[in-house]
């Protein structure tokens, strides 16, 4: 809730009314705050495996996560060494769609690459 101090003449007297009466109001107006809740965010992660080629993972990161070749290579190597790595953070539906597209692309190429989402 937000509280707005009234400082101007707030009476509705119409455009042509002669305001001789000095009808100023004082006090506070109380107005409900617009409810604009921030959406929950989800991390999209890639998991390491022993079979998916490094070049394929770099290509996935470029194509589905708009990474440059340098950034994609850095993320791929991080996943290769540490087991898991961050591709991006999205709202639920975008994250879900990215996971689906990546998993589908890996399956179509017969690689066991795993892409998952996790609430932030």
Which residues form the interface with ligand TYC (CB under 6 A)? Answer: 46-50, 52-54, 57, 76, 79-80, 113
Instruction: Report the first-to-last Cα separation within the chain, whole angstroms.
Output: 28
Angle ∠(33,30,35) on CA atoms, nearest 5: 10
Q: Is 88 exposed, middle or buried (0-12, 13-18, 19+ CB in 10 A)?
A: middle
The residue (of 94 and 114) whose beta carbon lies closer to ligand TYC is: 114
The residue (of 48 and 59) whose beta carbon lies closer to ligand TYC is: 48
Supply the minimum distance, in Å, between the C-beta of residue 53 and ligand TYC: 5
Supply the minimum distance, in Å, between the C-beta of residue 95 and ligand TYC: 17
The residue (of 57 and 90) whose beta carbon lies closer to ligand TYC is: 57
**Quick check: 107 and 60 in contact, CB under 8 A?**
no
Supply the minimum distance, in Å, between the C-beta of residue 83 and ligand TYC: 9
């Amino acid at each position: 809730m937000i509280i707005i101090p009234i400082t101007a003449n707030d009476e509705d007297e119409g455009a042509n009314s002669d305001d001789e009466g000095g009808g100023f109001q004082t006090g506070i107006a109380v107005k409900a705050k617009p409810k604009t809740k921030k959406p929950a965010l989800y991390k999209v992660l890639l998991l390491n495996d022993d079979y998916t080629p490094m070049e394929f993972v770099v290509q996935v990161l470029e194509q589905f996560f708009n990474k440059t070749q340098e950034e994609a290579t850095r993320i791929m190597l991080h996943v290769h060494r540490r087991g898991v790595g961050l591709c991006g953070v999205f709202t639920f539906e975008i994250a879900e769609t990215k996971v689906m597209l990546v998993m589908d692309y890996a399956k179509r190429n017969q690689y066991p690459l795993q892409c998952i989402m996790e609430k932030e």
